[in-house]
Copies of this chain bind each other. A is one copy, B any other.
Amino acid sequence: MRLFLERGYDATTVSDVAAAAEVSSMTVFRHFPTKEDLVLSDDYDPLIADRIKSQPPDEPLMRRMAASLLQGVAGLSADDRELLLARLRLTLATPALRARQLDNQYATQRAIVEALRSDPPDPDQEFRLWVSAGACLAAAAAAIIRWAEQDGRLDLGELMAYALAIVTGEDGNPPHPSPGRH
């Protein structure tokens, strides 16, 4: 991360990273399947999929998804958020990383649908799950991106709640437009 932030992702070769870590390039590739994985080691997906099954099943679908995502960001420590911010800066600025991150989001979408679909599969239900999950994740991503663009000055939880409210229709008020915090 230090090298990538200093010299840029594309301008930093895996050999550079290996040298800085005082190992051979091969060792890097053994621990990180691709160069992208040096930045994007996404292990949030299973957590979200787990959390969504513990939501009250009488709530509407999208609200359950929204609640899971909000609980996810609520559980982030200050350190988590700092690291997330650094990764986001790099990711948004680097096409290769951006594409890969979006594919991770797609995997999360699949995990959510997988977690919620009924056992004898119902194609129509699964489609509705897929659409709803896609919309919620798009809202969450929008919040995270805006949060990163503002250098983390806004509150991520409030921002995401606002974004999700837009999508679920229960259109609330924007979170403290200017006050900021931190």
Contact = CB atoms under 8 A, between A and B. Distances in A.
Nearest to A171: B128
Interface in A89-109: 95, 98-100, 102-103, 105-106
A152 interface: no
Number of copies: 2
Nearest to A163: B131
Contact of A103 (B98, B131, B177): B98
Contacts of A174: 124, 127
A68 interface: no
A135 B168 CA distance: 10
A142 B130 contact: yes
Contact of A106 (B98, B123, B169): B98
B146 A127 contact: yes
Interface in A60-75: none
B166 A169 contact: no
B103 A163 contact: no
Contacts of A137: 138
Instruction: Please tell me the size bucket of the interface on A.
Output: 20 to 34
Given A98-B103, A102-B102, A102-B103, A167 B166 contact: no
A145 to B, nearest CB: 8
Nearest to A95: B103
The 3 closest A-B pairs by CB, nearest first: A134-B138, A102-B102, A99-B103
Given A123-B177, A134-B138, A138-B138, 20 more contacts: A98-B103, A98-B106, A99-B99, A99-B100, A102-B102, A102-B105, A124-B177, A127-B162, A127-B174, A131-B138, A131-B163, A132-B166, A132-B167, A134-B135, A135-B135, A135-B138, A135-B139, A135-B167, A137-B138, A167-B167
